[in-house]
Amino acid sequence: MQLTDSEFSRIVNHVKGRYGIDLSQKRVLITGRLENYLLRNGYQSYGEYISKVEKDPTGNEGKNLVNVLTTNHTYFMREFEHLEYLRKIILPWIREKEQNRGKDVRIWSAASSTGEEPYTIQMVLQDFFSMDKSWDTQILATDLSTKVLLKAKSGIYLGEQIAPLPDTWKKRYFKRINNEEFQVIPELRNKIVFKQFNLMDQITFKGLFHVVFLRNVMIYFDNETKRQLLDRIYQHTASGGYLFIGTTESIDKEATAFEYVQPSIYRKK
């Protein structure tokens, strides 16, 4: 199946316009991932497919496109230094701040992919607040792709995927379900609200977040898209709240009102 220049531009424009993801340098990725999907689903050409996506009022074809084209690679304990920073610096700050208020911890994993990130964050929270069960540690985890969210909600992982976790966490928070797979126990799964959310949209979640994890997702966005997204997140962060980005990412000083704390960690004054 041939991808013409005009079909390529239409796909790039659609994905950039709707989801902020810039695939203009990713022609090989598009053909590599989409060709099989098109053949399996009986499309004769990329043109026929992109017309369907552009016209589909339900948005379902668009969802499938996102499921096929997004890069969802993640793993347990990724960027461990952030979890340490959370445990040592941020959670004591939240405890101090919220002790005499709602005892509500407000954390958002904003590109949560298949769930490894929010589950690991939740394990850190469980350890930290183990002495006082009256804290509400439920957190929000969102992603654009419905496919990864389904996987995240199921909480089912291969033994090799949970291998990086400390043994105590593996024992405490997972149940073996067959020879190869383990499932996160319901008590921990219930402490994460998984929702589909496009980071290009207005943020309508209630209340302000103490911490936002926005890790390894802005790599797909251009500078203006990043600037606007950071601005929306800033508006929804509590004063003194923190933002984590991926350790290989950076933000231009001029692009954000967040204050630089150390590489990949920012704070709202």
Ligand X SMILES: C[S@@+](CC[C@H](N)C(=O)[O-])C[C@H]1O[C@@H](n2cnc3c(N)ncnc32)[C@H](O)[C@@H]1O
Give contact residues for ligand X (rule: CB under 6 A): 19-21, 70-74, 78, 111, 113, 117, 143-145, 148, 198-200, 215-217, 220, 246
Say if residues 139 and 108 touch (Cβ distance below 8 Å): yes
* Residue among 110 and 156 whose Cβ is closer to ligand X: 110
* Residue among 105 and 218 whose Cβ is closer to ligand X: 218
* Residue among 18 and 170 whose Cβ is closer to ligand X: 18
Number of H helices, E strands in the chain: 12, 10
| Alpha helix stretches (DSSP H) within 1-130 | 5-19, 27-40, 46-55, 60-69, 80-85, 91-98, 116-128
Residue 188 C-beta-side C-alpha neighbours within 13 Å: 27
The residue nearest ligand X at its CB is 74
Burial class (CB in 10 A: 0-12, 13-18, 19+), 164: middle
Q: Supply the minimum distance, in Å, between the C-beta of residue 149 and ligand X.
A: 9
Q: Supply the minimum distance, in Å, between the C-beta of residue 198 and ligand X.
A: 5
Q: Supply the minimum distance, in Å, between the C-beta of residue 4 and ligand X.
A: 26
Q: How many Å apart are CA 22 and CA 38, to the nearest integer? A: 21
DSSP conformation class of 39: H
59: left (phi over 0), alpha (psi -120 to 50) or beta: left
Task: Retrieve residue 174's tokens.
Answer: 């997972």
